[in-house]
Structures are given as C-alpha cells and as structure tokens.
Structure 1
Amino acid sequence: MTYQHLLAAIAIDEHGEGVAQRAKALAAQFGARLSIVHVVEYIPLETGEALMAAPPDLAAQLQEQARTRLHELSVRLGLESAQLRVASGGVAAEIHRAAKELGADLIIVGHHPRHGLSALFSHTEEDVVQRARCDVLAVCLTRD
C-alpha cells in the first residue's frame, strides 16, 4: 500500500519540527501530498466563580501567531508545497476533523514515551490512535 495524502499534526516547537521533517521525507518517498495541522488548544480562563472560554480577541490572536509561526517553519523546512492548517479546539478532535476533511490516509503525530504515573493518564497521541479512521504513525520524540 502506498499513501496518497499524509497529515502531520505538529506542535510548533523543536519536536514538531522533527515530526514535520519526518513527514516531508515520507511524503517524498510515497509521492504523496502533505498537509500539516497545528491545533491551538482550547484555553479556559478561571474567573474565581466559573470557567470561561478565552475572549474571542485572545483566541484570534493565538491563532494568528500560530499561523505566522507555522508559515515560518514551513519556509525553514522547505515545505512550501504542503497545505498548512491552524485549528482551534480539542487537539485530538481537530486532528481527526482535519484528516476527514482532507481525505488523509496517514496521520503522523509525535509521541513521548511515558513512565511511572504519567503513563496512567490519557495523552493526545493515544486518543488519535484510538479514534483514527486511517493509519497512524507515531514518531518517537525522545530517544534514550
């Protein structure tokens, strides 16, 4: 099986850059299209009595900053041909939404191996794998 459309879900940091580089290499190897998504996570604000969503202007500002940084990363890595997308909301849900809308047949995510108590809690990459309707590649972000 060869993949036709890869979706790399990245954080905009050094780890995300590594995932994007791996996705670029795989897309070239398969002759596939590449899309990259970064999700600006929902940010609740505590006001003392109730949790409120971030004000619309703050959410828009965070999205615009993410678009700028994602574009800079794509230029630095030579990903000009990749389709870039910034979404806002729950990370796993937005990755699945993007994969469905784009018709991706492989999702690429970063994975941090977990040990001790942190292994007991749910993590984004595990949520992506559990609900995926296509193949998922988890790129190990820490090497011992």
Structure 2
Amino acid sequence: MSRYNTLLVALDLTQDSAQVLSGASKLVTTSSHLHLVHVAEHPVTALGSGTGRNHRHGELQVRQELFPRLQAYADGMVLPPDHLHILFGDAPQEITYLAGKLGADVIVTGSHGEKGLKRLLGTTATDILHQAACDVLIVRIHEPAQGTT
C-alpha cells in the first residue's frame, strides 16, 4: 500500500465518526498530516435568506457550535487548529474541493453497507468517490448489535 502524507478524514459528528477515525488511523504515520472536516448545511436565517451579514453570522454561530465537537475527535492527537475544518454546502463537493486545496493523498469517509452502489457506499461516499482526484478509503460502519449501545 502506498504511503499517504496528507489525509483528509470526513466526519459527520455522529457516533459513527469514531469508526471512520479508527479506519483512518491505520493509514497515519509519524510524518502524516491529518485533517478532519465536517460539512454542515448552510444555516437558515430568520428571514429565510442565506445571504449577507445574517448568513455570515449564522455560519459563525454554527461553526462555534460544531468546532468543539470536531475537536473532541482530535482529542489525544496533536492536530493544529488549522487542521480542523468546518465547511458549509454540499458535502461531497466541499470535501473534494478541500482535498484538492490541501493536496490530500487520500480522503477517508464512512458508509453503511446496504444494497446497490449508492446504498452500498451511501450517496455522500459514492459522490466523493466519483469526484475525488485522490484515493478514497470508505470505512464500513458496523451497527452495534441489538440490545447494545
């Protein structure tokens, strides 16, 4: 397997994110540059408009709410704050854009396996796979056994 220097790990900030990060950790070396990203939907303002000062204020509010949650996944890792990314918009598009901007060698994301390509990988994972200019590792999310959490 090739060595990955810059890894971009896409997290949805649910309990599944720990499994995605665990999969990514298998690729990390001491010389790796690890980046974590979460893509949120654009906040909706009280006026229903997503433009102007209210839009920027809404994004700042959401970013301030989500950043500690993303940072919690980096707990125990030495990641500079500029390696934690909160973006807004279409997840596959934003993730692949950031991967290009960072010069990422691999994007790591998660997916629940079901039936069919989109269901097998998930819509977001499938779109990332098709849009990315770099390798993509899709970590299979395993559901907890019934009766456990």
Question: Which TM-score bucket, shorter chain as reference?
Answer: 0.7 to 0.9
The alignment partner of 2:108 has SS state of strand
Q: Match for residue 125 of structure 1?
A: 125
Counterparts of residues 20-99 of structure 1 (less than 5 Å): 20-28=21-29, 31-43=31-43, 52-53=49-50, 55-56=54-55, 57-75=57-75, 78-81=76-79, 83-99=83-99
Gaps of 5+ in 2: none
Q: Match for residue 5 of structure 1?
A: 6
Amino acid at match of 1:88: F
Q: Match for residue 103 of structure 2?
A: 103
Moved over 4 A (4+): 43-47
The alignment partner of 1:87 has SS state of strand
Cα distance in 2 for residues equivalent to 1:31 and 1:22: 18
More strand by share: 1
TM-score (ref. length: structure 1): 0.79
Residues 48-99 of structure 1 deviation map (CA, whole Å, 9 limit, x = unaligned): xxx6438523332111111111112211xx2223621111111011101110
Gaps of 5+ in 1: none
The alignment partner of 2:7 has SS state of strand
Cα distance in 1 for residues equivalent to 2:21 and 2:12: 9
RMSD: 2.8
